[in-house]
Amino acid sequence: MERIILTADHSLMTEFRNISLFGFFSCSPVQYVPELFYDRLFAPLVPADNGNARYAQYGLRKVEASLIKAFGRKSVVVAHPRYLSYFADDASIIGLTVMDPLGIGPVTSSFAFGTGLTPYNRKKFMDLLKTIRKKIRCRVIAGGGGAWQLVDKDLVDHVLVGEFEKDGPEVIKDIMDGCNRKVFKLEPPEPEEIPPIVGPSINGLVEVSRGCPRKCNFCDPTTHRKRDIPIEQILKEVRLNARYGQKSAWLHAEDILLYRCESKNFEPNKDAVIELFKEVMKVKGVKSAGTTHCSLAGVVAAPEIIEKVTEITGKGWHGVQPGIETGSPKLIKKYMKNKPKPFSAEEWPEIVEEAISILNRYKWLPACTLILGLPGETEDDVLDTIRLVERLDRFHCVLAPLFYVPLGALRTKGKMFSIKSASPEHLRLIYECWKHNLREFSQGVWKGTSEMNPLFRIISSLLVKIGSREILRRLEKYLEKCAS
């Protein structure tokens, strides 16, 4: 059987020097961040072993495991994007995982402010396509969280939308047999249908649960049913990563505090979450553990989890991503009624403040999203959010104002919010967030690079400051223009 090549572009094949804030540089415009700095300073590519990627994006590893189960180990390779030519002669299909290939996702579009600048995630994806078309003659398939962006484009031959493990291998077989269908909608697998990864993942990432039960109307993960991964499989993947030198276990869930939660009111299962971290930290070679996402309501409902996990992992400052989204109880009720549970929508602003206070107490640095332009959002709603942001200025957190991107049938329809749609209140909100972030980024990058070369620390800190100030300068200029 001919070989299936799996790979991803540069923006997804980097560990960002294990500094989570550096991930934002993939959303930055190439016109402002020199490519040499991006490639060498902030986002060096993962190492290569005989053309293979030593570490790979976690979703790509899941696809690899599913295809090996279906077709055999010799039929699948996870290739380093710089060495695709090593596998060109016997390739029949090349599969790409994508997150934001066109640079139109909420984070990237918010960073570009509707200016038409080219972000690195788009550039690196286009660079990869050029390399593929030049060196490899085979069908190109794209899947992953950003696959919806390619449905109506002629950039790839096939697009897989959804989770791969259940239907994906059969779809690949159909394509290899000559099927010319462009878009495939994949059905979600049950936990027992999700195989463990067989190669190490970037940053030691391991999936703890998939999907989210809170069902916020604007959020893609909530369109996926929540399934918890058995702890035995989680630990198997942690051990695999540790054998390949990954000293950190980065546990991924849309809300780690809902792991094995059966409460209809979203009250965390304290024992299950604490046990999970205890068992992970017992794995030989693991020196630290963290998580990608948590809910602010869950932090307030069970602050002892944060305290105990901090004690177990023994970490210093630790990044995590929760969503604030809005300071308006009215919008909470309308679009995300489960978000504040087990509390009420009216309590939401106070929940946010208390949760961030708790996280800071135990040295957790939350990078919080806010959504601008939700349908029906009024001036009063935005002012509610501005007041909340002003109260958060005394805490350590990053505030990421994102433009609303509609969900829907493959997301090909619907009006996206842009800077051109922004009211003076929206612009003020963005400005207040970035004024706060300038200080936080300056302190955060310096702390986060404490074990690195002094020259590297100085250069990276200066570039982060310059970039943040440039965003503020552009916002001030835009505000002056709107006022005149």
Q: Sign of dihedral through CA atoms 258, 61, 126, 462?
A: positive
Same domain, 102 and 222: no
Q: How far apart are CA 388 and CA 427, in angstroms?
A: 15
Q: What is the mean pLDDT of residues 231-237?
A: 98
* CA dist 1 → 62, 74, 89, 164 (Å): 21, 9, 13, 21
Q: Is there a single domain that holds both residue 164 and residue 254?
A: no
Residue pair 112/33 in contact by the 8 Å Cβ criterion: no
Query: Does 411 fall in a domain?
Result: no
Answer with the one of 185, 211, 246 that is the final residue of a domain. 185
* CB burial readout 241-266, b (16+ within 10 A) else e: bbeeebebbbbbbbbbbbbbbeeeeb
Structure tokens at 225: 């049913």
Q: What is the pLDDT of residue 484?
A: 67
The pTM of the full predicted model, rounded to 2 decimals, is 0.93
Q: Is 50 in contact with 80 (CB distance < 8 Å)?
A: no
**pLDDT of 261 above 90:** yes
Dihedral over Cα of 350, 351, 356, 358: its sign: positive
Question: How does DSSP classify residue 415?
Answer: P
Q: Provide the pLDDT confidence category of residue 452 given band limits of 50, 70 and 90.
A: low
Q: ∠ CA 449-454-458 to the nearest 5 degrees?
A: 75
pLDDT at 188: 95
Is residue 273 in a domain? yes
Domain match, 69 and 33 both: yes
Same domain, 163 and 211: no
* Residue 357: pLDDT over 50: yes
Mean pLDDT across the chain, nearest whole number? 91
Instruction: Taking residues 436-465, report their average pLDDT.
Output: 74
Residue 211: partners with Cβ closer than 8 Å, 6 or more residues away: 188, 221, 222, 224, 225, 226, 227, 254
Unique residue bearing structure tokens 């991930």: 23
Indicate if 165 and 228 belong to the same structural domain: no
- Choose the final residue of a domain: 376, 410, 439: 376
Q: What is the pLDDT of residues 317-351, one digit of tens each?
A: 888 999 999 999 999 999 999 999 999 999 999 99
Question: Does 102 lie in the same domain as 207?
Answer: no
Which of the two residues, 193 and 316, has the higher pLDDT score? 193
222 shares its domain with 357: yes
In a domain, 123, yes or no: yes
Q: What distance in Å separates the CA atoms of residue 27 and residue 8, rounded to the nearest whole number? A: 16
Q: 186-197 burial, b if ≥16 CB within 10 A, otherwise e?
A: bebbeeeebbbb
Q: Mean pLDDT over residues 301-313, rounded? A: 97
Average pLDDT on 149-174 reads 97
Flag whether pLDDT at 445 surpasses 80.
no
* Residue 413 in this model has a pLDDT that exceeds 50: no
Q: In this structure, is residue 432 part of a structural domain?
A: no
Let me know whether 158 and 261 are in one domain: no
| 364 lies in some domain | yes
Q: Would you call 3 helix, strand, or coil by DSSP?
A: strand
Asked if 209 and 298 sit in the same domain, the reply is yes
Examine residue 455 and state whether it is found in any structural domain, yes or no: no
Q: What is the mean pLDDT of residues 234-260?
A: 97
Single-letter amino acid, residue 362? Y
Taking residues 403-425, report their average pLDDT: 71
Our measurement of the distance from residue 41's CA atom to the centroid of its chain's CA atoms, rounded to an integer in Å, reads 21
Is residue 382 situated within a structural domain?
A: no
Tokens of 125: 């994806």
Query: Does 113 lie in the same domain as 156?
Result: yes
User: What is the pLDDT, as a whole number, of residue 410?
Assistant: 38
Whether 89 and 135 map to the same domain: the answer is yes
Which two tokens mark 331? 């919008």
Q: What is the pLDDT of residues 36-66, one digit of tens each?
A: 989 998 899 999 999 999 999 999 999 999 9
Q: What pLDDT, on a 0 to 100 scale, did the predictor assign at position 483?
A: 67
Mean per-residue pLDDT, 269-273: 98
**Tens of pLDDT, residues 80-121:** 999 999 998 888 899 999 999 999 888 887 776 556 789 999
pLDDT for the residue 449 = 65
Distance between CA atoms of residues 28 and 51, nearest Å: 29
pLDDT at 419: 80
Residue 167 has pLDDT above 80, yes or no: yes
In the predicted model, is pLDDT for residue 233 greater than 60?
yes
User: pLDDT-derived band of residue 412, with 50, 70 and 90 as boundaries?
Assistant: very low
Q: Is residue 391 part of a domain?
A: no
CATH of residue 368:
3.20.20.70
Q: pLDDT-based confidence at 210, cuts 50/70/90? A: very high
Nearest to 430 by CA among 464, 384, 463, 476: 476
3-state class of 288 per DSSP?
strand
pLDDT higher at 347 or 411 = 347
Last residue of a domain, one of 347, 376, 405: 376
Contact 412, 151 (CB under 8 A): yes
Q: Which domain holds residue 236?
A: 203-376
Side by side, the strands of the sheet bearing 139-143 are 76-78, 3-7, 91-97, 139-143, 158-161, 183-185
Pair (148, 251) in one structural domain: no
d(CA 286, CA 250): 10
Model confidence at 418, pLDDT cuts 50, 70, 90, reads confident
pLDDT of 44 reads 96
Query: So what's the pLDDT on residue 411?
Result: 44
The segment with the largest mean pLDDT, out of 17-26, 137-146, 444-453, is 137-146
In the chain, the number of structural domains is: 2
Q: Give Cα separations from 61 to 31, 58, 220, 468 (angstroms).
A: 32, 5, 21, 34
